[in-house]
Structure 1
């Protein structure tokens, strides 16, 4: 008869010393074996769920149209503009009144609208924090916006914006890069503001 060495139970909650009765035995008894089996099953289930979530995210990304990417990119850009002007302490670009940053009363208003100049939609000189009243109900308050814009960026830059008639068509990859850039800049501004 061969004397067998004692082993430590593989169940981390038990870890008692035992003499194995079979070759390859890793646990002291059936209760510890079931406990390890349950832990391994939960780990495998979680790993599958993580892989499933990643696959779903990748599939959803592939289903997005170019318009979906433009919309997401515009949201990231507008959020950055609002944070940029809030951190800088700017007032409304068109009316000059202080902005209410506590609620949802501030828009990122474009001097040249996205509809008339889509190539300037992501130009930081063309977009500034503006009260919702001026942006939505006064159609951007363009005359006062121009006056405020000249004070902020200068007459030459404003005339450059007005003269820019170039055509830009963003690819999906470019839109994803722009979105990532402005999300990173916004995170940095939020960190500064905190």
Structure 2
């Protein structure tokens, strides 16, 4: 032995006297274990890399309608979280968050069908009890009254007058989704810190 000294085995951690300068394990059994471990780590890294590539490929292949759906979902979640401590915009009753399936929606003053250009406008969307949003189509007057109380008559009238068409690109929809996911995180973090 020419001065290699005593080393500690990378597998079993016992001291051994190496026969080769770069020897890392004490014997054949530990060498096999080390090889299996190294191969397992390499396979795990390859799997992670492949999943990342697949995820990026799926993102690139999404259609505009898929981006729109994701952006709308993120926007609605933010509005529900933002208004969780406020009463229903229509009837003024408290929002019951603990109910199974949730008891309130993100309701739009000007519906997404009639005014798609306002679907991501925060002035146009507020937390609304499901009874008022889904089965109370005649609640538009009550919604308007609640909206005037919250944002003021001038802003309500500007919302009603907004007829400018907007067609969002996939990149804009991705940015909207990311923006409202971040805003949701901030609202939730603000609630847990308070």
Taking structure 2 as the reference length, the TM-score comes to 0.92
Instruction: Check the 8 A contact 1:11/1:33 in 2, yes or no.
Output: no
**What is residue 114 of structure 1 aligned with on the other side?**
112
Identify which of 66, 69, 74 aligns with 1:68. 66
State how far apart, in whole Å, the 2-side matches of 1:3 and 1:73 are. 67
**What is residue 97 of structure 2 aligned with on the other side?**
101
**What is residue 87 of structure 2 aligned with on the other side?**
91
Matched residue of 1:128: which SS? strand
State how far apart, in whole Å, the 2-side matches of 1:80 and 1:180 are. 11
**What is residue 14 of structure 1 aligned with on the other side?**
13
Over aligned residues, Cα RMSD in angstroms? 1.6
Distance 1:73 1:3, change over 3 A: closer
**What is residue 56 of structure 1 aligned with on the other side?**
54
State how far apart, in whole Å, the 2-side matches of 1:126 and 1:100 are. 22
**Structure 1 residues not aligned, in runs of 5+:** none
Distance 1:140 1:79, change over 3 A: farther
Taking structure 1 as the reference length, the TM-score comes to 0.92
Identify which of 112, 121, 124 aligns with 1:123. 121
Matched residue of 1:162: which SS? helix
**What is residue 82 of structure 1 aligned with on the other side?**
80
Counterparts of 1:140-155 in structure 2, within 5 Å, are 141-155=139-153
CA drift at 1:185: 0.9
**Structure 2 residues not aligned, in runs of 5+:** none
Please give the per-residue CA displacement for 1:72-96, whole angstroms capped at 9, x wherever unaligned. 000000000011011xx21000111
State how far apart, in whole Å, the 2-side matches of 1:7 and 1:158 are. 81
State how far apart, in whole Å, the 2-side matches of 1:24 and 1:83 are. 59
State how far apart, in whole Å, the 2-side matches of 1:23 and 1:163 are. 81
